[in-house]
Chains A and B, each alone.
Chain A
Amino acid sequence: MTSFFVGFCSFVIMVSITSLLAQKAGSSYTTSPLIALASIATSVVTNKVGPTFYNRNPRNLERLRIAWRPTGYHLEVPGREFWHKLLLEQSPHHVTAKIVHYSGLEVVTASTKEWAVKKFLYSTKDTSAFMNLARVFAQRCLESGISEVCCDLKPYPGGKVESFLFCMEEGGMTLAEPPRFKPHRPWHVDRPEKPWEVTE
């Protein structure tokens, strides 16, 4: 049971330092790893740095693509292997879009039931409603820091849901989650680039 929780509980990063000496003009550059680095006091300000750094942000690992996904449910349809998933609930009179986290929490929702959306729509269930809901929803998701979500919907060509997904993509959302980054092991063939080392 404990191994099941390895990734699930590790929203706190335990990070160990591999320090590189400052690349100031003229100084030599060594790559020997040092532990428990204390800063050089050249002025009054002295700031100590601990050997390990803890980042409590629960969404950090998901952004770095290191976070655990609920694996092992591959015999189920729809699957559970995602961080955030897009759900579209259609009722006879309304439509609701949700971003759901694998823990069950609804992170961002937008619905034609809301007065803010209903006020401006002619109908709450036609294609225009879907398209405008997608625009509003995409804006809310991007403002909440979510831009890549897993999407299981397979819409009919030319339908309302297809228009919805098209407007979501236009609004800036990506409807597929990036693959999980697995740490480099000696027996792996490839060494894919680390997501946090990519600076565009």
Chain B
Amino acid sequence: MAGPLLKLLVGDVSVLQIALVRYGHHIRGKPPGVARTLKQRLEEINYKDPSLNFKVDIGFPKPKPSRSKELKERIAIIKAVRSNPEIERLSRKKQLQVSLKEVKEEWLKTGGPFHIRRVARHYGVYDDLFGDAYFTPRVMLDVHYELNDESCFPVHRGNVIKPSEAATVPQVTYVSEPNSLWTLVLTNPDGHLTKQDAEYVHWFVGNIPGNDISQGEVVWNYLQPLPPRGTGFHRFVFILYKQEKRMDYTRLKEEGPCLQLEKRTFQTLEFYRERQDDITPAGLAFFQSDWDISITDFFHNTLNMEEPVFEYDFPEPYIRPQKWFPLRQPFNLYMDKHRDPKQVAKEYLMKKLKNVHPFKKPDPRPMFPNAFATDNKRLPSWLRVEMKKDRLGWGRINDF
């Protein structure tokens, strides 16, 4: 606030200095060092009691291999690598290319489950499917969609796959003991057309012996992803449950392709809660999918219904309440913000209709629209600017 200082001199000493400033203000509340920061205030507002808001681990515990044995093996491997002159040479010359496949295999055995759980939490998979529960995927689920032209679309944790690529049943593999029973469920927590908190189940195979999906009992047949147009990206989550004993899914079973989407309404939490003593989630894989032209055909031909099209509901723009005397505001732009949109649309339509002939083609757009003169009578400057903007295709005219 550098304004002229008014010094009142009493004797030889300047006692009072009043700064003549514009838009001066007094500080409200506590000064900066003492007041709580924005971060502190947000923490206070978003505070959640840890005794009430805690997550429960419903998966398998971490397998604990013999640490000393593991350490001995690792030290031996490191020694072998460090004494290998070939690797040292490649490393020095910046030509060492580590095999990504081998790194991934090792990663899946060591830190992979934790990383997958973290990404799943980031995508809200646990929140939307289980609520207050989570699990760490101990069994690595290898899911990929294979098309006729031998292209392969793997499902990892959140990658994008189009519905046309996911139209057929995927190949699912995982490591399992031969006498174990598994359940595989594919759900979409985002796609429900009527309810907010429900999911659609796209594929449910129960009582799978070992890892042979074809031998399992199909409770819901595979349905391709159906994200409607305009709704963005939906998550499709594969969960593999390990069964303690043979499960009875006859209550849930739906025959045929089950295109009645209400019958595919599913709540993973309720499903798990009823059977929590007998099944444990062990594997997790999910992908994202958004609209594709093949979905239009699917809605029309297979589901025999009109395709729903959505548009994101943006919040209304905040426009300050209108004042009688808006100082330092261009009056035409200010008042245009508060005009009735129907009136504005009507005016643009009238302008357009003046130049439209019902039977002739419209004139081609001129290359230099503002090269043509306006009417002979002298127009105010703001109106000339508006006419130029309309001719150039800037601003409001694009809405009509």
Contact = CB atoms under 8 A, between A and B. Distances in A.
Contact of A40 (B99, B259, B306): B306
B124 A144 contact: no
A47 B103 CA distance: 47
Contacts of A20: 307, 309
Interface in B56-97: 74, 77-78, 81-82, 84, 87-88, 90-92, 94-97
Interface of A: 1, 3, 6, 11, 13-24, 37, 39-40, 42-50, 52-61, 63-64, 66, 101, 105-109, 114-123, 126-128, 131-132, 135-136, 139-140, 142-146, 163, 183-191, 196, 199
B300 A22 contact: yes
B157 A145 contact: yes
A19 B242 CA distance: 43
A189 B394 contact: yes
A59 B312 CA distance: 15
A46 B123 CA distance: 32
B231 A13 contact: yes
Chain A interface main SS type: loop
A19 B232 contact: no
B196 A54 contact: yes
B314 A183 contact: yes
A186 B335 CA distance: 13
Contacts of A108: 115, 119
B311 interface: yes
A47 B91 contact: no
B230 A15 contact: yes
Interface residues of B, number: 90
B98 A47 contact: no
Interface of B: 45, 74, 77-78, 81-82, 84, 87-88, 90-92, 94-100, 102-104, 106-107, 109-111, 115, 118-119, 121-124, 128, 156-160, 189-190, 192-194, 196, 228, 230-235, 259-262, 287-288, 290-291, 293, 296, 299-300, 303-315, 317-318, 333, 336-337, 341, 344, 394-396, 398-399
A56 B128 contact: yes
A150 to B, nearest CB: 16
16 contacts: A15-B312, A22-B300, A39-B306, A47-B259, A56-B128, A57-B235, A58-B124, A59-B122, A63-B290, A121-B96, A139-B104, A145-B288, A183-B317, A186-B341, A188-B395, A196-B232
Nearest to A1: B45
A60 B232 contact: yes
A195 B57 CA distance: 38
A196 B160 CA distance: 14
A63 B333 contact: no
Given A39-B306, A43-B304, A119-B106, A107 B100 contact: no
B282 to A, nearest CB: 20
B293 to A, nearest CB: 7
Given A57-B233, A187-B396, A64 B312 contact: yes
Contacts of A42: 304
Contacts of B77: 119
Contacts of A59: 122-124, 158, 233, 288
B319 to A, nearest CB: 10
Contact of B303 (A45, A57, A132, A145): A45
A18 B232 contact: no
B305 A116 contact: no
Given A16-B313, A17-B308, 13 more contacts: A18-B310, A20-B307, A47-B260, A47-B262, A57-B189, A60-B233, A63-B290, A64-B233, A143-B156, A144-B159, A145-B288, A187-B396, A196-B291
